[in-house]
Structure 1
Amino acid sequence: MNRAVPLAVILALGAAPAQADTLREALARAYQDNPTITAGRAQQRALDENVPIARAAGRPTIGTQAGVNENYLRSGNSFTTPERAAQAQLSLNVPFFSGGAVRNSVRAAETRVQAGQFGLRGTEASLFTEVVGAYNDVLRDEAIVSLNAQNVRVLETNLQASRDRFEVGDLTRTDVAQSEARLSLARAQLQRVQANLIGSRENYVRLVGNSPGALDAPPPLPNLPQSADGAVEVALRDNPTLLAALKQRDATAFDIRVARASRLPTLGIGATGSYVNYLGSLGSGTGLGVGQSGTSAGVGLNVSLPLFQGGRPAALVRQAQAQRAQAIEQATAAERQVIASARSAYAVWQSSLQVISSSEQAVAANQLSLEGVRAENSVGNRTILDILNAEQELLNSQVTLVTARRDAYVAGFALLAAMGQAEAEDLGLEGGPLYNSAENFRAVRGRFSDFGDGPAPVAVAPSTSTIPAQNAAVARPLDPALDSSKVDRSPGLTTGENAPNR
């Protein structure tokens, strides 16, 4: 698909050096062995088997039966009731008319296979959206932990400076208490965001199957729409979940025809062959030499013409019609959901972009404000509480910025998923050929052997029990735009004995 190329190229160009984990690598791992998608593939293979099952109803059947009877109580003579008999029978039945039931059952099954294939594509897109969210959650929470750890270090320095200035009489005990309280709150906040980071990393492990290493920044997303209407237009054409619902709706039309066929006659050709052996008991005691075995064969036309079935055919038709009505409404519901998802994802994406722009300005402004408040405090025009509030406002704007970056990227990817442009073929994943659900369908649709079992089921997705519990350690350096160490916090502005106003 041509539409698959741009996103795959962007992901490839966005690959980081070998020591970093990239978003593309995380998506490839999840695609290979995430249990949600491997279970979806197994479900689709089970769905494929409905086609040969439906076809089997129109194929010849061969059966045999055999038995040995011993008559312990006989009211007749040995000719009419021999003491024992061995029998064997072989029968062949070839149906050639069933009122269209077989033909329409096969069509319904094939249509549902197509719906399942679209549904599997939707599962891929949903999984990839989750992985993108988990990947960016880890990046966001790592940045937030680093920001809060940085804030704790700054407040520790502030507290020491406040104590120094209290010792020389430049500050009051209230100023020291305010610094102590703010530091205690900052430490508690750090514990909370560290727990959030552990939770995000564990969620990453659940989805990807590996611990997140040093995650590289995700590449920019390509081909995002210019308007919500443009996104909806593409989504209504390509969204796999909607296409699956439409195929399910189409399949119910064949179900109605199958139900109506239950009123029609069925025709078939039957052939039988039988063998009987009385094991020497036929005519025993008469002294007559009679044959003790015999064979027979016959061919006939089987006709079944239902005249009255207690209302069952009409009930089947009404049931199928109601199920079609349900499928029609479900298709409409799926369409509404796709429209809402595309529009809301577009709105969140646009809103997050605006929040990013505002937050970047806020971070820069709060850095300048903090420097100014500290300078004014050194000459007695600002209080320690003003400094603490300025530090908190800077931290808040930094957290808002990293959160908005995460929200914008995840919303942008969710928008591509809603448009049907975030599936395996679009991403150009590495690690082997992509799973092709049509291959299994082509392999099984024409099978007719009663002994063509498949391989024994084995687990595909590995357990994560051997992966160590995640921690909140962060080795990733902060984005320079978020590093508040650039703010002037020189001792001359924070230590009372060296303050310019002393």
Structure 2
Amino acid sequence: MTKRRIALTASTAALAILITSPAPAETLQEALAKAYRNNPTLTGARSGQRAIDENVPLERSEGLPDLGATGSYTENIKRSENSFTSPRRLAQGGVTLSVPIYRGGGVANRVKAAKARVAAGQADLRGTEASVFSAVVAAYMDVIRDTAIVGLNQSNVRALEVNLEATRDRFEVGDLTRTDIAQSESRLAVARSDLRAAEAQLISARENYIRLVGSPPADLQPPPPLPNLPAAPEQAVTVAIENNPDIAAAKKARDAAAYDVRVARASRLPTVSATADGGYVDYLGSMNSALVTSQHETTAAAGAQVTIPLFQGGGPGALVRQAQARESQSIEQTIEVERGVIAQARSAYASWQAANSVISSSQVAVDATRLSLEGVRAENSVGTRTILDILNAEQEYLNAQVLLVTARRDAYVAGFTLLAAMGKAEARDLGLDGGVLYDPVVNYERVKGRIWDWDEDPAPQAQSTSTVDTPAQNSIVGPLNSD
């Protein structure tokens, strides 16, 4: 009986240590900060947003002057006998300047559409950030849950080993039968199989953590309480409608589609350009001096060009109708995204509340099954309970503990998902340490007015970290779980 009580105490201690006691190692905020700096999905999305930023100077360049120069050298190897003024050789150069004056509003509206898509991209980047953080939180909690489950299964195996030993001892004195031994052996074999499955799940959780964070998990501390969770689903929806990045991106994409309609209409309006060009020709002394007065020429011209479309085969009308259809599509997509966010917020709230209820009931179940197990063991000692009763009680106790661990993980993940749906799960909301937060507006302000043709950025380099040198994870629980 002493060994059985020791096994029960060890199982209880494992639950207390693995679930409630903070370990002085990696925190959730530190894991999120690592992912913020190193996750390739997030760093790649930032690069993609910088590419979108360049659409503004690209569209603006269509409305700026175009200046070009030409030069050539010609050697006339054979000249016509009737061409008395044809030079033997000449060098010439010219400069051409074209200045767009009016493009039917096409350039201005393309620039506005590009700016709207930049804003949409910035909102999409916020959404990517929240999505990556949600995945990191889930991975973090998975490691904590699976570490606890492995510890609980280990304690269960040890307890069943003690039970089997005691059963064999009682069989030797004729107190129990071979059936009792077979039941104990069977339950122990199943428990060992469950332990192996739990260990494999822990290894998978740790590898997924590395994929998202970029480094192995250390002894993960329990996460801090989630802030500013809503009191009702209606409050969650109200905040989500105002702050969710997916809705903001959809609205900006709708604005860009409206500008595209104006761009299409500009294709049937007149265009006006001013032009100027100058040229210089030097015959290099090869002209017949008796027939010409100069061995070089200089020319210059300036003017304006007006193009008035009269008939283009219905192309402009098709472009306008196409742009209008795409605007209509973007309007519907905005409503679709809004519906999805509303459903996500309400579902996450319901999942969060349900998981909290499961935590409360699971805690009651853990307490009750612990008392039940102690009682069944005491009754077995006086012959009123069988070995099978003890085995069933131990299994119920283990199941209740696993359910409690899982419910705590599910509640936290659901709560964070709820914050993400509300647009409150981004770096600016989480107070991440480790340097200045990435601001996509900085790059946009840097490039939007640049007009120099030879302006480039430094050669691209990887911002995220490779995990190829990270050792394969194991199922050891405790300080060595990152080795």
Alignment TM-score, normalising by the size of structure 1: 0.89
Amino acid at match of 1:272: D
Q: 2:308 aligns with which of 292, 305, 310?
A: 305
Give 1:468 shift.
1.3
Task: Tell me how far apart the structure 2 counterparts of residues 438 and 407 of structure 1 sit (CA, whole Å).
Answer: 36
1:141 paired with 2:140, answer no
Q: 1:210 aligns with which of 201, 209, 215?
A: 215
Gaps of 5+ in 1: 1-15, 478-502
For 1:460-471, list aligned pairs within 5 A: 460-471=463-474
Task: Tell me how far apart the structure 1 counterparts of residues 100 and 364 of structure 2 sit (CA, whole Å).
Answer: 78
Q: Percent identity?
A: 61
1:247 aligns with 252
Structure 2 CA distance for partners of 1:80 and 1:340, relative to 1, 3 Å = farther
SS at 1:468's partner residue? coil
SS at 2:468's partner residue? coil
Q: 1:96 aligns with which of 82, 96, 101?
A: 101
Give 1:86 shift.
2.5
Partner deviation per Cα, 1:283-306 (whole Å, 9 max, x = no partner): 48xx54542221101110121112
SS at 1:89's partner residue? strand
Task: Tell me how far apart the structure 2 counterparts of residues 19 and 240 of structure 1 sit (CA, whole Å).
Answer: 35
1:3 aligns with none
Task: Tell me how far apart the structure 1 counterparts of residues 310 and 86 of structure 2 sit (CA, whole Å).
Answer: 39
1:342 paired with 2:348, answer no
SS at 2:277's partner residue? strand
Structure 2 CA distance for partners of 1:140 and 1:76, relative to 1, 3 Å = farther
- Contact 1:282/1:290, CA 8 A, preserved across alignment: no
Q: 2:365 aligns with which of 344, 347, 362?
A: 362
- Contact 2:136/2:213, CA 8 A, preserved across alignment: yes
Gaps of 5+ in 2: 1-20
For 1:450-461, list aligned pairs within 5 A: 450-461=453-464
Amino acid at match of 2:352: W
Give 1:330 shift.
1.3
For 1:252-401, list aligned pairs within 5 A: 252-283=257-288, 287-288=290-291, 290-401=293-404
Give 1:279 shift.
3.4
- Contact 1:156/1:183, CA 8 A, preserved across alignment: yes
Q: 1:107 aligns with which of 109, 112, 117?
A: 112
- Contact 1:232/1:419, CA 8 A, preserved across alignment: yes
Structure 2 CA distance for partners of 1:308 and 1:85, relative to 1, 3 Å = farther
How large is the RMSD of aligned CA atoms in angstroms? 1.7
1:489 aligns with none
Amino acid at match of 1:424: A
2:441 aligns with 438
Partner deviation per Cα, 1:85-128 (whole Å, 9 max, x = no partner): 32211001111111101110111011111111111111111111
- Contact 1:37/1:127, CA 8 A, preserved across alignment: yes
Give 1:319 shift.
1.6
Amino acid at match of 1:111: A
Structure 2 CA distance for partners of 1:109 and 1:289, relative to 1, 3 Å = closer
Give 1:150 shift.
0.4
Amino acid at match of 1:318: R
1:154 paired with 2:155, answer no
1:38 aligns with 43
Alignment TM-score, normalising by the size of structure 2: 0.92
1:163 aligns with 168
2:14 aligns with none
1:422 aligns with 425
Structure 2 CA distance for partners of 1:394 and 1:296, relative to 1, 3 Å = same
Task: Tell me how far apart the structure 2 counterparts of residues 303 and 37 of structure 1 sit (CA, whole Å).
Answer: 48
- Contact 1:78/1:283, CA 8 A, preserved across alignment: no
Give 1:315 shift.
1.7
Partner deviation per Cα, 1:244-277 (whole Å, 9 max, x = no partner): 1111011111010001101111111111011112
1:191 aligns with 196
Task: Tell me how far apart the structure 2 counterparts of residues 212 and 143 of structure 1 sit (CA, whole Å).
Answer: 14
For 1:20-35, list aligned pairs within 5 A: 20-35=25-40
Task: Tell me how far apart the structure 2 counterparts of residues 61 and 280 of structure 1 sit (CA, whole Å).
Answer: 34
Task: Tell me how far apart the structure 2 counterparts of residues 73 and 244 of structure 1 sit (CA, whole Å).
Answer: 67
Task: Tell me how far apart the structure 2 counterparts of residues 476 and 122 of structure 1 sit (CA, whole Å).
Answer: 35
SS at 2:412's partner residue? helix
Query: In the comparison of the two structures, how many residue pairs are matched?
Result: 460
Amino acid at match of 2:223: P
SS at 1:222's partner residue? coil
Structure 2 CA distance for partners of 1:96 and 1:22, relative to 1, 3 Å = same
2:10 aligns with none
Give 1:470 shift.
1.1
Amino acid at match of 1:270: T
Partner deviation per Cα, 1:166-217 (whole Å, 9 max, x = no partner): 1111111111011111111111110111010011111111111111101110
Task: Tell me how far apart the structure 2 counterparts of residues 297 and 173 of structure 1 sit (CA, whole Å).
Answer: 114
